[in-house]
C-alpha cells in the first residue's frame, strides 16, 4: 500500500505547472524550476555528518557533483529517493570520490549531523562499496542557507506544520566541477545510463570512455523529461562515421593485399 501511495504522490508532483489548480492545495507550490547553467552559491555554510562547518565549495574539487535534496526525517519519499539513487549508482561504474562526488543536503533545519551520519551509513551499506565513503557527504544547515540553495536550483517545497513533514519532488541534480547546474534527473530511481552521461557531460569529458562519447553523439538531454533520448541526426552521423571507418579499413586492407601481389 505504501508503494502505491508513493507512486501516486510522485505522479501528482510531476504534473505540468499548468495543472496546478487541479492539485491538492498543499501541493500547488511544490515543483521544480530548472535553472540549467546557473551558478550554485558555493559560499554557503553547512555542517557535515561529523558536525564540522563546511562550505559548498569544499566539495567542488575538480569532479562533477551529484546533488540530492531531501530531509532525513522523511517517512517515505526521501528514503525511497536515496535508496533509488544508491541502486542506480550501483549500475554506474564510476566511483564516488574518484570520478564524481555525492552531496546530499537536508532542507529541514531540524536535522542534525548525528542523523545525517546515520543516513550516510545506511546508504553506504545499501550501495555496497564502503571504500567510497570519502565520496559521500551528508549536510545539514540553517534555514537561510537552505533557502538560498533551494532557490538557486529551483527546488520548491512546502511544509506541513501539523505533521512536521514536507511535500517535495524527487530529483537528482548534476553540477559541473565549477559549480554550474548541468542536469536534472527526475524520479526516485534515475536511469543509470542517464546519470552516467550526465556526469560525463558535466566533467567536460574528463571522465568516461570512447563509448560514452559515441552515446553523447547519438543521445541528447531533454530538460522536459530529465532524460537522454535518441537524437536521430546524431545517430545517422555516428552510423555514417562508423561506415566510413569500416570502409577505410577495408580499402586499406585491399590495397595492402594488392601491393603484396607479384
46, 145 contact by CB (below 8 A) = yes
State residue 23's pLDDT score.
58
Judged on CB neighbours under 10 Å (0-12, 13-18, 19+), 234 is middle
Record the pTM.
Answer: 0.77
> Does residue 241 fall inside a structural domain?
no
> Does residue 36 fall inside a structural domain?
yes
Q: What is the pLDDT of residues 147-156, one digit of tens each?
A: 999 999 999 9
- Mean pLDDT over 3-25 rounds to 47
DSSP category for residue 18: G
The Cα–Cα gap between 65 and 94 comes to 12
The domain spanning residue 97 has which CATH number? 3.40.30.10
- Ranking 30-34, 196-200, 252-256 by mean pLDDT, the lowest is 252-256
Range of the domain at 36: 2-205
> Does residue 200 fall inside a structural domain?
yes
> Does residue 26 fall inside a structural domain?
yes
211, 34 contact by CB (below 8 A) = no
> Does residue 28 fall inside a structural domain?
yes
- Site of grid cell 574528463: 206
- Mean pLDDT over 245-250 rounds to 49
Residue 63, pLDDT > 80, answer yes
> Does residue 19 fall inside a structural domain?
yes
Q: What are the E-state strand segments in 49-99?
A: 53-55, 65-70
Task: State the average pLDDT for the chain.
Answer: 81
> Does residue 51 fall inside a structural domain?
yes
What is the distance, to the nearest Å, from the Cα of residue 158 to the centroid of all Cα atoms in its chain?
22
199, 174 contact by CB (below 8 A) = yes
Q: What is the pLDDT of residues 81-97, one digit of tens each?
A: 899 999 999 999 999 99
Residue partners of 41: CB distance under 8 A and separation at least 6? 56, 148, 149, 152
Reported confidence tier of residue 209, pLDDT bands at 50, 70, 90 = low
The Cα–Cα gap between 45 and 64 comes to 20
**Domain count of the fold of the chain:** 1
> Does residue 100 fall inside a structural domain?
yes
Q: What is the pLDDT of residues 123-178, one digit of tens each?
A: 999 999 999 999 999 999 999 999 999 999 999 999 887 777 888 899 999 999 99
Amino acid at each position: 500500500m505504501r508503494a502505491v501511495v508513493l507512486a501516486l504522490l510522485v505522479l501528482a508532483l510531476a504534473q505540468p505547472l499548468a495543472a496546478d489548480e487541479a492539485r491538492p492545495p498543499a501541493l500547488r507550490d511544490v515543483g521544480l524550476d530548472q535553472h540549467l547553467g546557473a551558478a550554485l552559491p558555493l559560499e554557503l555554510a553547512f555542517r557535515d555528518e561529523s558536525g564540522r562547518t563546511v562550505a559548498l565549495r569544499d566539495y567542488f574539487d575538480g569532479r562533477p557533483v551529484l546533488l540530492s535534496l531531501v530531509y532525513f526525517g522523511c517517512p517515505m519519499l526521501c528514503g525511497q529517493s536515496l535508496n533509488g539513487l544508491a541502486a542506480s549508482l550501483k549500475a554506474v561504474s564510476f566511483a564516488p570520490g574518484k570520478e564524481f562526488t555525492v552531496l546530499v543536503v537536508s532542507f529541514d533545519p531540524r536535522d542534525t549531523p548525528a542523523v545525517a551520519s546515520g543516513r550516510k551509513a545506511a546508504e553506504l551499506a545499501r550501495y555496497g562499496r564502503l571504500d567510497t565513503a570519502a565520496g559521500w557527504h551528508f549536510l545539514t544547515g540553517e534555514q537561510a542557507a537552505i533557502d538560498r540553495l533551494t532557490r538557486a536550483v529551483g527546488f520548491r517545497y512546502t511544509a506541513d506544520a501539523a505533521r512536521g513533514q514536507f511535500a517535495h519532488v524527487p530529483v537528482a541534480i548534476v553540477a559541473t566541477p565549477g559549480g554550474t547546474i548541468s542536469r536534472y534527473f527526475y524520479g526516485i530511481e534515475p536511469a543509470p545510463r542517464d546519470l552516467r552521461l550526465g556526469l560525463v557531460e558535466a566533467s567536460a569529458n574528463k571522465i568516461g570512455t570512447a563509448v560514452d562519447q559515441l552515446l553523447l553523439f547519438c543521445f541528447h538531454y531533454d530538460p522536459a523529461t530529465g532524460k537522454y533520448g535518441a537524437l536521430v541526426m546524431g545517430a545517422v552521423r555516428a552510423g555514417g562515421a562508423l561506415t566510413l571507418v569500416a570502409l577505410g579499413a577495408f580499402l586499406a586492407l585491399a590495397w595492402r593485399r594488392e601491393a603484396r601481389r607479384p
